[in-house]
Structure 1
Amino acid sequence: MSTLGDSTRCVHAGVPALSPGDPLQPGPVFAAPYALPPDGYEPGVDGYGRGDNPTRRVLEAAIADLEGGDTLAFPSGQAAVSAVLMTVLRPGDTVMLPADGYYNVRTFASSFLTSSGISVVEAPTAGPYPSFDGVRLVLLESPANPSLDVVDIAEVSAAAHAAGTLVAVDNTAATPLGQRPLDLGADISVASGTKALSGHSDLLLGYVSTRSAALYEAMASWRTLGGAIPSPFDAWLARRSLSTLDLRLRQQTANARALATFLREHPAVTGVRWPGLPTDPSYAVATRQMRRIPGIIGFTLPSAAAVADFLRASTLVTAATSFGGLHTTADRREQWGDRTAPGFVRLSCGIEDTDDLLADFTSALSA
């Protein structure tokens, strides 16, 4: 891992050497077919945009530097997860999924994997885990969305590998500045770049990183033949936004620390979850494993109506079903089918001033 600081790496990762007159942020290159040499296609020379694109390569090189593995970009996080599942698994295989993770992964599995003869088992992020014997792939999500439980990636990876099981980790919430799953023993790190990685709520993106040449080639072939590619403009937007990732995460984490402490003491709030709180069940493993805790909090109000009242009374919190952006947002997860209480809220802390958020929460919860 580079000895440079996080902000320095975020600014410079993947950016090619510049000549006088070049823009500091190159691209985007919108071409789909490219001009070919007169004698025909040459490997390594851009020929058709579905297979390769200069702007996409810059983004992939940047994420590869941060994650520590060869990287492929996809048009959404769900497309990236699907590429992992569909290239690794075959009929007769078994996959283990997080019972408390992103619900659409379980929906994809029940809708498409099971009908293809793939067995699906679930395990809670915090464990206990059943035997990995006979399991082809275990997908972890840490911190899990929306439960915010954390798993010891190194411990589970070692146990899974001993049984011949591959390990993939959804790194969306943590981001590669929070943890590097490949360093902890995982075979694949997969994430939605829609969330904190790009952080401006203006694009859809996903990516997969791995140090296995075989896995990389399989997923690259799947992407090219299946056509699951991000647009050059989205790739350019993501690389541009990546430069401020460290700055954004610092403020989001600071806001989460202050709000989690405040919410834990508020009489209207129960069940506060933030792995950075010493009282949180995941605190020990999170602080040992992660370089920083993300700006996502879970808390519960008495009912769905109470959540709606809180959102109406707040002037700074917006109802939205994504997280990791500049604006503080809240989402009542039960409405989407998550296994949560009706009043459970996933709060995504933005980059507003901490004192302003505390004042807004005090007023809105009183209302």
Structure 2
Amino acid sequence: MLDGYGDSTRAVKAVSSQAIPGQPVGPAPVPAAAFHLSADEGSEPDTYGRSSNPSWRQLESALAQLEGATIALSFGSGMAAISAALRAVVRPGSALVVPSDGYYQVRRFAAECLAPLGITVREATAAQIYDAAEGADAVLAETPTNPGLDVVDLHRLAGICRRNGARLLVDNTTATPLGHQPLSLGADLVVASATKALSGHSDLLAGYVAGSHPELMSALERERLLAGAILGPFEAWLVLRSIGSVGLRFARQCQNAMALATALRSHPAVRSVRYPGLPEDPSYPVATAQMRKFGGLVGVELADADAVHHLAQGSELLVASTSFGGLHTSVDRRARWGDAVAAGFARISAGIEDTDDLVADVLAALDRG
């Protein structure tokens, strides 16, 4: 149990190997596809790398501890995790709610792969999701939303879903389990991309699903086995290795995001700023009630697309790239991907640079405009 510890202690404890004299302190990768079989068939912990392997178990144990779950399952990407979770909770005739203001590929998956199977797909913003959940069989919420950073009241939404017998899935990619634990707020499943802050180095793809309902997790494990959307053992080890430092990295990212949001809200080139940790942000009341940290993302609206490109080009520290949660602070113009935002809306993912250096650099780049 990790209750009562701070974030870095929780992270380090989650990845600690068993204290056996003579054995490595840090867990080692097990890059194996096939394992020795026993005459006592079915007694082996591992038989074939697509069904299980020691590297997965080490990572999944750490993820379950951080999310406050009984079980976690790793996947080859965040989309693999989300799509598997959705397939596990809906059937032809089901009604599914997905975020209209969340990750755009989820909407595409629901429209292109689930709707043709006879599943009714409803899209709803963070503000609309409570009404949309009425009569649904499954609800996927993303909080804070990506890229708008609206925060969904999970306690309220979970109550609606329980009353109607609907499954609630929460995408915890933006907040991370250090920001909040949706399972403790009533969610049935947590889905997330470990590509982002948990791995934190912009060099691998991974995802996971966490929960405490045995039947749901068994269905997901079967889905992973048959669909083959698995995480490689070496990548699993890399995520596990990274989790040990996520407390330090995420704390700096949150600190940098807050500093950037505070500095940018008064800059003449900035039309608006979204960050759940700002007292004037519309999501602040809900965020302060359910989140422990506000995350490393800041939404900034500039004049137009050129202004975003000039910001990236005029900075010494900003990296123009998509995805988020890495060591480097990055900027991404979200309208290019089809998000329903203004042409000059930029998502800034705060890295771990020194706070004063980062703020000074971004303000100077805006001044050069």
TM-score strictly above 0.5: yes
In 2, the alpha carbon distance for the partners of 1:41 and 1:227 equals 23
The question of whether the paired residues in 1 share the 8 Å contact of 2:180 and 2:292 is answered with yes
In 1, the alpha carbon distance for the partners of 2:129 and 2:98 equals 13
Partner of 2:4: 3
1:229-240 maps to which residues of 2 (within 5 A)?
229-240=230-241
Residues 1:46 and 2:43 are matched in the alignment:
no
In 2, the alpha carbon distance for the partners of 1:250 and 1:130 equals 35
Deviation at 1:5, TM superposition (A): 2.2
Deviation at 1:22, TM superposition (A): 2.0
In 2, the alpha carbon distance for the partners of 1:236 and 1:274 equals 32
Deviation at 1:164, TM superposition (A): 0.9
In 1, the alpha carbon distance for the partners of 2:41 and 2:5 equals 39
Partner of 1:259: 260
CA offsets 1:13-65 (integer angstroms, 9 cap, x no match): 1433132332222221011110112x153235211111101011000000100
The question of whether the paired residues in 1 share the 8 Å contact of 2:180 and 2:291 is answered with yes
Deviation at 1:228, TM superposition (A): 1.1
CA offsets 1:81-112 (integer angstroms, 9 cap, x no match): 00011111111111001110000000011111
Amino acid at match of 1:203: L
In 2, the alpha carbon distance for the partners of 1:157 and 1:278 equals 25
1:349-364 maps to which residues of 2 (within 5 A)?
349-364=350-365
Partner of 1:161: 162
What percent identity do the matched residue pairs reach? Answer: 52
Deviation at 1:12, TM superposition (A): 1.8
Partner of 1:244: 245
Partner of 1:183: 184
Partner of 2:224: 223
Q: Using the TM superposition, name which of 126-135 and 71-80 deviates more.
A: 126-135
Amino acid at match of 2:6: G
Residues 1:195 and 2:196 are matched in the alignment:
yes
Q: 1:49 to 1:127 in 2, by over 3 A?
A: same
Partner of 2:309: 308
RMSD: 1.1
Question: 1:176 aligns to what SS in structure 2?
Answer: helix
Partner of 2:138: 137
Deviation at 1:361, TM superposition (A): 1.2
Partner of 2:276: 275
Deviation at 1:163, TM superposition (A): 0.8
In 1, the alpha carbon distance for the partners of 2:343 and 2:25 equals 48
The question of whether the paired residues in 1 share the 8 Å contact of 2:137 and 2:166 is answered with yes
Partner of 2:124: 123
CA offsets 1:306-348 (integer angstroms, 9 cap, x no match): 1111111101000110101110000000001111111100000
Q: Using the TM superposition, name which of 328-337 and 24-33 deviates more.
A: 24-33
Question: 1:291 aligns to what SS in structure 2?
Answer: coil
Amino acid at match of 1:46: D
In 2, the alpha carbon distance for the partners of 1:151 and 1:5 equals 25
| TM-score under structure 1 length normalisation | 0.97
Question: 2:261 aligns to what SS in structure 1?
Answer: helix
Amino acid at match of 1:346: R
Partner of 2:66: 66
Structure 2: unaligned runs, 5 residues or longer: none
Question: 1:275 aligns to what SS in structure 2?
Answer: coil
In 2, the alpha carbon distance for the partners of 1:213 and 1:102 equals 28
The question of whether the paired residues in 2 share the 8 Å contact of 1:189 and 1:209 is answered with yes
Partner of 1:338: 339
In 1, the alpha carbon distance for the partners of 2:125 and 2:43 equals 45
The question of whether the paired residues in 2 share the 8 Å contact of 1:100 and 1:146 is answered with yes
Question: 1:100 aligns to what SS in structure 2?
Answer: coil
Structure 1: unaligned runs, 5 residues or longer: none
Deviation at 1:131, TM superposition (A): 5.0
In 1, the alpha carbon distance for the partners of 2:133 and 2:363 equals 47
1:98-109 maps to which residues of 2 (within 5 A)?
98-109=99-110
Deviation at 1:122, TM superposition (A): 1.3
